[in-house]
Structure 1
Amino acid sequence: MAAQLARYGDVREVGTSRLGEPITMVSVGNGPRNALVFAGPHPNEPIGFLTVPRLAEVVRDNDFGYTWHLIGCVDPDGARLNESWYAGPLDRERYLRGFYRPPAHEQVEWTFPDGLPETRALSSVIDEIRPDLLCSLHNAELGGVFYYLSEDRPGLADTLANLPTGIPLHTGEAELPGTRRIRPGVFLFPSLEAVNTAMPGMSSVHYASRYGTFSLVIEVPMWSDERSTDTSGCGEQRADVLARVARMIEDIERMPDLPIAEFVVQDSPFLRAYADLRPGAARFASALRAHRPQGEATVAERFGHQETAHMLRLRACTTALRILDGELGVGNHRAAVRSARKAYAELFESWMAEEGSVAQPIQPDLLVNAQLGAILSAAKS
């Protein structure tokens, strides 16, 4: 990535990962305002890796009054654990079987200001350039495109909601607790107090706010389903949907125990992620139960919440499978390991059969263009 970005401007190392990988940033343009754009804050969300070089090419020719500071990947260690599925084809099961997402306390996006070496690298850049604009590039798994803004800018919200992305606009609720919808598909980023009911720490958006930074978080889906845009009533009350979804998420707490005492490897990124799954699921389910919205849910709202729960269960299950396959791969064929592998394989197949989705993969070019259009819209606002 660094070599690819070097053709557009000056590249410098701004930090290193926990495993010693360099984290590099390229600066392009010479406008009086500063913009910071970074990709890969969650390593299972790689679309930003493609967007950053495209953005560098665009702003090299027109900086829109900014000096652009671009980080192509802020979690290279996590990215390496996902790279088996990056090249495609973008199949849901293939993605899940190669999936890795760090535990919440090891996520760059949620451990500001100094929780991790990667987070410290990013926070030091924010302290140095005090960005006028910050863009964090994310992608969801299934649904429609949506955006979080750090402040209510109705003009920009209108622009984002009407961007001709070729991707359905998410019309349900946001995934983070404490959000407020500005327009369909555009939400106000929640306060630190609200988000800490489900997440452990401070985000880049909260941290940068000390400098008066305007932040945009862009979420584009890798798969699309027409139900994510259906605003008709579903016949079920919003509060009942959330209660049912909370019960689905609590299935994670009831998963079989891993026979960790029988393992050869006693610590790994996957084991740490697994250890966080049950308390994380409990926090999220509790936050959903505490939220008591009124009225009938739309099809899109019900679908979005159900997909979130479905995704979290499958992520938990496949994390356990990667742990167990690793043990078998190093020759640990103890009965407890084989038995757990069988139980989790059956659970994974059972939950996959519940998917009921007609999701279609979205072309990466459309996803990149959607992120690019949103960034430039924010820069012009």
Structure 2
Amino acid sequence: MSLLPELRYPTVTELTASARALAALRPGVCALRQVGVSRAGRPLLLLSVGRARRAVLVVAGAHSNEPTGGPTALAVAERVLFDRELRADISWHFLLCADPDGASLHVTPAPRSLFEYHLGFFRPAGEEQPEWAPSMLPPDRLPPETRALTGVIDDLRPYLQVTLHGTDLGGSWVQLTKEVPGLAEPFAKSAAELHIPVETGASDAAGWPASGPGVHVMPAPGAGAAYPSMPDDARRSTWYHAHRYGGLTAVVEVPMWASDLVSDPAPHPAPATAMRRLAGRLLREASQVDRVLRETLPRLEGPDGPLLRASRWGLELVPGLAADWIHTPPADDTMAYIGSVDAFSRRLPLRAAAMLLRVLQEAGDPLAPRLERLVRAWSNSFADRFRARWVPLEHQVEHQARTVVTTALHARERTG
């Protein structure tokens, strides 16, 4: 039995309907309950399977543009329900979508290309993201989604929180807030079986030690940040909330489109030079978007909406990040790392342009066609440079689901 829609990413409404159907199959084992509401009043729902005291919390939908997590959560829930051994001494809990408001604004359920994906793109500004808000806002200003998530952690006290993320183009990797011995080998085996590259030098984990290819462990307190200008701090995110109960968090990333350029461990011949070149392109491309923004802002009426706030927020990150890349020694000297930074340098201005485009299209602004041509050109260039190949949705879900279960079993041994 499968409760997943075919060949496309399900909506939050479809995820909820599937979760209700799953709970109805075994009401003595499963339960679906509301644990909060979003800023717009949408329900935040938790699906629980099993009744054991030791708990695993799986969080989907923390980033609206990373849609694999929802179907993965359902796949793991279904697997656990029909495998008694997996829930013999563990209860499993699935936050179906941590940001349903964001999910309502990201509207590419079946993208056929990177360009089509970006036409419906949305990812909120950092302080509006449920997991990252605590690193940017004081406690009295946290959004309700964050308060709901931390409330679930306080209630369950999970020995493991797994948060399901993804990337548009690249490879798969895991970030851990504490080491989970033995995870790297089955993670790599799963990726290989499903033809998904392991991103061995992920820029998101720059400077983090690795316990194996693509499995990164948060560095010890006091370690310097690879990108000092970035406003987020993982130790103040919801990832670390589980630590107060002796738990840890695993962030499992899987790509929509794969590229082998992010898995090459060979040394780069001139990493510092490459970083400066990427910084220069980042500045140039961001300035193109900024010029359109400045020209159109006087014509846009009313307060900034979430798309415009997110676009502006992304552009504001660029000067500091480019300075980091120019003045800070590279955190890694491999081809994989430079490839990952190359992807990041393309991603940031492209996303800002894509969200601004949606604003201009809605307003009927005359610059919308010009910006659409830019989004198309950058999307196609990104895909061509990285020789992007689509990862079938069932492979995205299967690899992420395997990694969730494997991490839970290995972390159980770690925590006794």
Does 1:69 find its partner at 2:90? no
3-state SS of the aligned residue for 1:90? Answer: coil
Q: CA distance change for structure 1 residues 120 and 252 in 2, over 3 Å: closer, same or farther?
A: farther
Cα shift at 1:296: 4.8
Q: CA distance change for structure 1 residues 350 and 2 in 2, over 3 Å: closer, same or farther?
A: closer
Does 1:251 find its partner at 2:272? no
Partner of 1:96: 118
CA-to-aligned-CA distance 1:41-75 (integer Å, 9 cap, x gap) = 00000001111111111111331521111111111
**Does the CA-based 8 Å contact 2:53-2:89 persist in structure 1?**
yes
Match runs of 1:312-331 below 5 Å: 312-328=348-364
CA distance in 2, matches of 1:171, 1:18: 37
* Of 205, 224, 238, the match for 2:239: 205
* Of 61, 85, 88, the match for 1:40: 61
**Does the CA-based 8 Å contact 1:2-1:11 persist in structure 2?**
no
Does 1:367 find its partner at 2:400? no
Unaligned runs of 5+ in 1: 329-336
Partner of 2:4: none
Cα shift at 1:314: 1.1
Give aligned pairs, total: 368
3-state SS of the aligned residue for 1:142? Answer: strand
* Of 168, 180, 185, the match for 1:158: 185
* Percent identity over paired residues: 31
Does 1:216 find its partner at 2:242? no
**Does the CA-based 8 Å contact 2:286-2:349 persist in structure 1?**
no
Partner of 2:172: 145
CA distance in 2, matches of 1:295, 1:175: 12
Cα shift at 1:179: 2.0
Partner of 1:128: 155
CA-to-aligned-CA distance 1:104-126 (integer Å, 9 cap, x gap) = 11111201366211111101111
CA distance in 1, matches of 2:215, 2:347: 22
**Does the CA-based 8 Å contact 1:146-1:170 persist in structure 2?**
yes
Match runs of 1:1-381 below 5 Å: 1-6=15-20, 7-8=22-23, 9-61=30-82, 62=84, 63=87, 65-83=89-107, 85-86=108-109, 88-112=110-134, 115-163=142-190, 164-189=193-218, 194=225, 197-200=229-232, 202-235=236-269, 237-255=270-288, 256=291, 257-293=294-330, 296-298=333-335, 300-328=336-364, 337-338=365-366, 340-352=367-379, 354-355=381-382, 356-357=384-385, 358-381=387-410
Cα-Cα RMSD: 2.3
CA distance in 2, matches of 1:180, 1:362: 27
TM-score w.r.t. structure 2 length?
0.82
CA distance in 2, matches of 1:117, 1:296: 41
- Greater CA drift, 350-359 or 319-328: 350-359
Partner of 2:26: none
TM-score w.r.t. structure 1 length?
0.89
CA-to-aligned-CA distance 1:299-354 (integer Å, 9 cap, x gap) = x22222111111112111111111110111xxxxxxxx41x335423433443453
Cα shift at 1:260: 1.7
Q: CA distance change for structure 1 residues 353 and 94 in 2, over 3 Å: closer, same or farther?
A: closer
**Does the CA-based 8 Å contact 1:150-1:215 persist in structure 2?**
yes
Q: CA distance change for structure 1 residues 294 and 282 in 2, over 3 Å: closer, same or farther?
A: closer
